[in-house]
Amino acid sequence: MLKFDEKKLLDNLQGGLELRPQINEVVDRVHNEGYSNVCWLGIGGTYASSMQAVVHMKERSAIETFYENAAVFLTTGNKRVTDKTLVVISSVTGSTQEVVDAVKKCNEIGARVFGFIDKADAPLAEMCDYTISYPLNEQMKFFMVADRLMNLNGEYDDYEEYYSQLDKNFAKDLVEVYKKADGFAEKFALKHHEDEMHYFVGAGNQWGATYSYAMCYWEEQHWLKTKSIEAQEFFHGMFEIVERDTPVTIHVTEDSQRALSQRVVDFIPQICANYTVIDAKDYDMPGISEKHRGNISPFIIHAVNDRIDVHIENLNRHPMEIRRYYRQLEY
């Protein structure tokens, strides 16, 4: 497989899961000290992960939780962020200016900030009340925070069972998804690596990832034009510009909003002959119970998308690390 290091991937996924005791220590302390609400704060990809965390919690929990764009927070503020708020952030470099400035504002308000900062010596890491440094696995980290909050609030009876399965099986099962998806991913990349425009549809706990995949991967890293749309909004405008040859990809998960994406899947053959369905249900995770598959669906689709990216990068001879403008110009 192209650019695939099985051991490295397995170690990285397992390492992410092994952060749970550190995460729980922080969340338990916040819970014991008391908090009023939870704000997931980010921009770009971290804003997308924040969307996923909120969707993950909203149907299960009475905890007040919301996501906030760091740049909008700086211009407009949010009165729900107080000295009783837990603010959760993530940053790879620890230097994204909007996030740095937003955390400064949170510090001034007195909110407690829990940061996943990959670069342990970044100034942003020191600005957080609690910091954990470990690369990648952003959605996993956010979900672990959300799950512990709900568990402590008496809203997640299956918490121990679920994480027992993840600890034992998630990493090795997901590595197999990467392997199974590679053939499909190569064919998809060959078909779409030169698309003039590509549309991505998603819903539920996948929506943030769909939004991020279109923007942070295809646009930012591949320089391919895209539009992302929530499945429930597809029928309120976008479908009028879909024609026979319009490239459309629909991400379908197994969470409670599956029906929203499935509705698009059922309809689209009437108007389009160039659509693709990426359905988490098509990939086995034998170590995870059926009732928990909705939680892990975004990770399955992420694995498929990862393999697509590798093949597009190879076909277009454009390393994904190269940017034209991002962090290259003043803006």
Please check whether residue 201 is in contact with residue 229, taking contact to mean a CB–CB distance below 8 angstroms.
Answer: yes
The pLDDT, as a whole number, for residue 212 is: 98
Quote the CATH superfamily of domain 6-152.
Glucose-6-phosphate isomerase like protein; domain 1 (3.40.50.10490)
What is the distance between the alpha carbons of residues 220 and 200, in angstroms, rounded to a whole number?
15
With helix as H, strand as E and coil as C, how does 51-98 read? HHHHHHHHCCCCCCEEEEEHHHHHHHCCCCCCCCEEEEEEECCCCCHH
- Give me the residue label for tokens 């399965």: 165
Burial of 10 (0-12, 13-18, 19+ CB in 10 A): middle
The pLDDT, as a whole number, for residue 52 is: 98
By three-state DSSP, how is residue 129 classified? coil
Burial of 253 (0-12, 13-18, 19+ CB in 10 A): buried
The domain defined by 170-316 folds into Rossmann fold (3.40.50)
The pLDDT, as a whole number, for residue 163 is: 98
* Domains of the chain by residue range: 6-152, 170-316
What is the distance between the alpha carbons of residues 270 and 69, in angstroms, rounded to a whole number?
37
Per-residue pLDDT in tens (0 to 9) along the chain, 331 residues: 999 999 999 999 999 999 999 999 999 999 999 999 999 999 999 999 999 999 999 999 999 999 999 999 999 999 999 999 999 999 999 999 999 999 999 999 999 999 999 999 999 999 999 999 999 999 999 999 999 999 999 999 999 999 999 999 999 999 999 999 999 999 999 999 999 999 999 999 999 999 999 999 999 999 999 999 999 999 999 999 999 999 999 999 999 999 999 999 999 999 999 999 999 999 999 999 999 999 999 999 999 999 999 999 999 999 999 999 999 999 9
The pLDDT, as a whole number, for residue 292 is: 98
Q: What does DSSP say about strands 85-91 and 37-42: parallel, antiparallel, or unpaired?
A: parallel
Fold match flag (6-152 vs 170-316): yes
The pLDDT, as a whole number, for residue 32 is: 98
What is the distance between the alpha carbons of residues 54 and 296, in angstroms, rounded to a whole number?
15
pTM of the model: 0.97
- Give me the residue label for tokens 């454009």: 318
As a dihedral over the C-alpha atoms of residue 131, residue 321, residue 172, residue 159, rounded to 10 degrees, the angle is 30
The pLDDT, as a whole number, for residue 46 is: 98
What are the residues facing 227 on neighbouring strands?
A: 199
What is the distance between the alpha carbons of residues 201 and 264, in angstroms, rounded to a whole number?
8
**Amino acid symbol at 121:** D
Burial of 292 (0-12, 13-18, 19+ CB in 10 A): middle
